[in-house]
Amino acid sequence: MNNREIGCLGERIAESYLVQMGYTILERNFRQRGGEIDIVAQDDGTICFIEVKTRTGDAFGAPSEAVDIRKRAKISHMAMAYLYKNKLHNRPCRFDVVEIWLSGQSGEVKRINLIKDAFDFV
């Protein structure tokens, strides 16, 4: 699998996992000029902007380490666009990260970690 296929697989796995955890999926791959949010969901009345990071090994550290300050700023900007577009200005929101580790190229899930409230607006 190439990186794009791994990323798409990770997003599908994350979506299924989030539904099992009680989230309601509102939108997948919300795109506007300037970026994308992997998953927008609702958890107990809170709008969650979710970044999914998938890895097949530990060579580059934990998946969440890839959500650096620049990525956080881009996600924050996209979250504001989503809230504005959907007239959700007064709703509580947060940023979550789903880390997924896959077993080599087989695509078998080794581990999933949900980090709620992983960062604040940048």
DSSP-derived secondary structure letter, 65: G
- Residues 21-46 pLDDT 10s: 999 999 999 999 889 999 999 999 99
Of 117, 5, 115, the residue nearest 62 (C-alpha)? 115
Query: Does residue 23 form part of some domain?
Result: yes
Query: Does residue 30 form part of some domain?
Result: yes
State how far the Cα of 3 lies from the Cα of 46, in Å rounded to an integer: 31
CA distances from 106 to 1, 5, 27, 34, 103 (A): 8, 12, 28, 33, 6
Q: What is the mean pLDDT of residues 91-116?
A: 92
Instruction: Please provide the average confidence, as pLDDT, over all residues in the chain.
Output: 93
Flag whether pLDDT at 104 surpasses 90.
Answer: no
Domain of 15 in residue numbering reads as: 3-117
Q: What is the mean pLDDT of residues 108-114?
A: 95
Domain count, the chain: 1
Confidence of residue 97 (pLDDT cuts 50, 70, 90): very high
Query: Does residue 122 form part of some domain?
Result: no
Q: CATH number, domain at 64?
A: 3.40.1350.10
Of 10, 22, 105, the residue nearest 64 (C-alpha)? 10
